[in-house]
A = this chain, B = another copy of it.
Amino acid sequence: MNAPSSINQLHARRLGLLSQHEAVALVHVDCPICRSEGVSAHSRVTLTSGGKSIIATLYQVSADWLATNTIGLSETAWTGLGLDDKGEVTVTHSPPVQSLSFVRQRIFDDGLNERQISSIVRDIVSGAYSDIHLAAFVTAISARPLSDGEVTSLTRAMIETGDQTEWDEKTVVDKHCVGGLPGNRTTPIVVAIVAAHGLLIPKTSSRAITSPAGTADTMEVLTRVDLSGDEMREVVRQTGGCFVWGDGVGFSPADTDIIRVERALNFDAPGTMVASVLSKKIAAGSTHIVIDMPVGPTAKVKNVVEARQLSNVFDTVASAFGIHLRIEVTDGSQPVGRGIGPALEARDVLAVLGNEPDAPADLFEKSCLLAGAILELAGIAPPGEGKSMAEDTIANGKAWAKFLAICEAQGGLREPPDAKYKRPVYAPFNGRVASINNRKLARAAKLAGAPDDKAAGLDLKVRLGDQVGQGEALFVLHTETIGELTYVLDYVHANPDIIELTH
């Protein structure tokens, strides 16, 4: 298929282009090799160097900063090819991606079988899908929702295309929140409590998908979270728990691509959500899983009907893999805790674990509820006694000691940063807090810079039902730049229903 290698190679040039997604390669329009192979701009091409191959999107450059015998590579392409400071790269046509015909089939017609889904997921993991292909796949399985069988197949394919961990212990626990509720940073507290009871909880967390912070974003404020799979296993063996960013450990790598596209589209669909959650838990070796499902008009799950539908999918897929699952439907009418944004949420977590007098009571309550559910599901606590057992574990300082031990094993506890600009938003009149719009509050925290700026976000000063006086702060915006402060204030003023008061 290739012309002789002598005329088929280009000198690799590291462009330092940070393209988290597709591997990108740039060649000069007069590049002779590309002419001989007949590859043209926007082709998906195969790049080969020293035995390694990747698929990349090719762009052409008509200016002379790139030599005609050179191929400029993005960081993804450079590291994917395992290049050091120089190397030769062969450019050839990419073979047709056969599984794209299954994506087309899924857009227009039938469901997919296990083999077809497996082939799609393998191609996603190998980098053969462009953003357009990924977006089409994610949209198709949202517009025509995945069947239970498809979700099970997708989950299995996502597990099998990544690393998997097994443990000697028969019971390995985990928890997950389906999200949609700002703040709600229960995970670090739950992990500390259940690990203090001797349970194994190899917790991996994601970064924010559509929210101002994921647990990984929040815990990164306090300690190192980008552990390798081996480092993670070592921490869990030492301490029983961990707080690790899921993408780093190699479980369910397809999920990273799917989530990236869902983030750009600002949605996540039930089927991919279940596959995403369960594939990572099962790959991590978990056997007993508690799902926190907040329900409220502006949460991700809007009402009990949606909650029941989503629960059914979780139950079906968990059964197919022999997983013990318990779903806790929780109040999703307002944020949990006060901070929204990585550092502000980390501050709340430390306050609860440290038994501080002004710690947010709702975060304490909810964390103990979930930890209690795990203690019961795993047979540590008798039914109905999990929550009080969890509360004791915070009160007696054992959860705090375990939290410190885990952070220590991951590289030490860090101090949360403080934002450069803080700006209160005031109540326009005397009244009672009638509603809080989770989505708009989350949007404001994101416009403030969260989660990319760790210190950015907002600090809630009121809860539903509170009586506030005119000029009293409803919340305080935290930003690292003036640009973002101005930007988020524009949004807040254009959306007075973020927090609504009644006279």
Contact = CB atoms under 8 A, between A and B. Distances in A.
A69 interface: no
A102 to B, nearest CB: 12
Contact of A17 (B35, B38, B61): B61
A412 B453 CA distance: 60
A434 interface: no
A95 B140 CA distance: 27
A455 to B, nearest CB: 12
A107 B138 CA distance: 10
Contacts of A29: 18
Given A139-B107, A481-B38, A133 B17 contact: no
Contacts of A490: 1
A347 interface: no
A61 B74 CA distance: 9
Contact of A14 (B18, B63, B100, B487): B63
Contact of A40 (B452, B479, B487): B452
Interface string A242-262: 000000000000000000010
A338 to B, nearest CB: 23
A92 B62 contact: no
A2 B483 CA distance: 6
Interface in A1-55: 1-3, 14-21, 26, 29, 35-38, 40-42
Contact of A131 (B17, B18, B131, B452): B131
B261 A483 contact: no
Given A1-B486, A1-B490, A41-B18, A481 B35 contact: yes
Contact of A140 (B1, B36, B139, B264): B139
A62 B75 contact: yes
A104 interface: yes
A160 interface: no
A236 B163 CA distance: 64
A220 to B, nearest CB: 16
A449 B34 CA distance: 13
A103 B93 CA distance: 34
Copies in the complex: 2
Contacts of A453: 38
Contacts of A449: 38
A21 to B, nearest CB: 8
A59 B19 contact: yes
Interface residues of A, number: 68
Secondary structure at the A interface, as helix, strand, loop or mixed, is mixed
Given A75-B62, A139-B107, A481 B15 contact: no
A305 interface: no
Interface in A422-477: 443, 449, 452-453
A18 B60 contact: yes
Given A133-B264, A143-B139, A265-B133, A26 B17 contact: yes
Contact of A484 (B38, B100, B482): B38
Given A19-B59, A104-B265, A135 B142 contact: no
A90 B439 CA distance: 30
B18 A61 contact: yes
Contacts of A138: 136
Contacts of A170: none
A1 B484 CA distance: 8
A61 B38 CA distance: 29
Contacts of A63: 14-16
A21 B131 CA distance: 13
Contact of A136 (B130, B265, B483, B486): B265
A494 to B, nearest CB: 10
A388 to B, nearest CB: 41
A107 B267 contact: yes
A365 B245 CA distance: 66
Given A18-B60, A261-B132, A483 B37 contact: yes
Given A16-B63, A18-B60, A136 B135 contact: yes
Nearest to A145: B108
Contact of A62 (B2, B18, B130, B136): B18
Given A21-B42, A108-B267, 15 more contacts: A17-B60, A18-B59, A18-B60, A18-B62, A38-B453, A38-B479, A40-B452, A62-B75, A93-B483, A104-B267, A107-B267, A130-B131, A130-B264, A136-B138, A140-B143
9 contacts: A2-B483, A38-B483, A62-B75, A93-B483, A107-B267, A108-B143, A132-B134, A133-B265, A136-B139
Ranked nearest first, the 4 interchain pairs of A and B with the lowest CB-CB distance are: A16-B63, A135-B135, A143-B143, A16-B62
